[in-house]
Structure 1
Amino acid sequence: MTTEQQLRQLEARVDDLLRISARLRQENQSLHEREAKLVEERAQLLKKTMWLATRSKPLFRV
């Protein structure tokens, strides 16, 4: 294999790695956005749970 062929092969590999890196960066961003939404949803559910707990306490007093 000549030096020129090796250089082309290396360039192709670098291009592949750049594409993979860009895809992984996008996936990472999507996962961070999804996590933020899930954290917010959890906070809202906890808030509703606490509200229901305080509202239902008088119903179960004996």
Structure 2
Amino acid sequence: MHKDTVKGSMKDAKGSVKETAGKMTGDDKLRAEGKGDQVAGKVQKGVGNVKEAARDALKH
């Protein structure tokens, strides 16, 4: 597993927590930040997966 995949997963999870906290407190800014973090995390996970696939392809 590539480090970007792990970092992306962590960012996605952090965003989910922020979004939930924003919903519970009625804080639209926190909710939006959470959604943004989730998107950034998903993108970073995708980049990590592509890097891992490229590395695996070069090994074989």
Q: TM-score range by the shorter chain?
A: 0.5 to 0.7
Q: Tell me, in whole angstroms, the C-alpha distance in 2 between the residues paired with 1:21 and 1:46.
A: 37
2:43 is the counterpart of 1:33: yes
* Structure 1 runs, 4 residues or longer, greater than 3 Å off: none
AA matched with 2:36: Q
Equivalent positions of 1:1-62 (< 5 A) are 14=26, 17-50=27-60
Instruction: Name stretches of at least 5 consecutive residues in structure 1 with no aligned partner.
Output: 1-12, 51-62
Count of aligned positions: 36
Larger Rg, first or second structure (1 or 2): 1
Alpha-carbon RMSD across the aligned residues, in angstroms, is 1.1
Task: Give distance in 2, aligned partners of 1:42 and 1:20.
Answer: 32
Structure 2 residue matching 1:39: 3-state secondary structure:
helix
Q: TM-score, normalised by structure 1?
A: 0.54
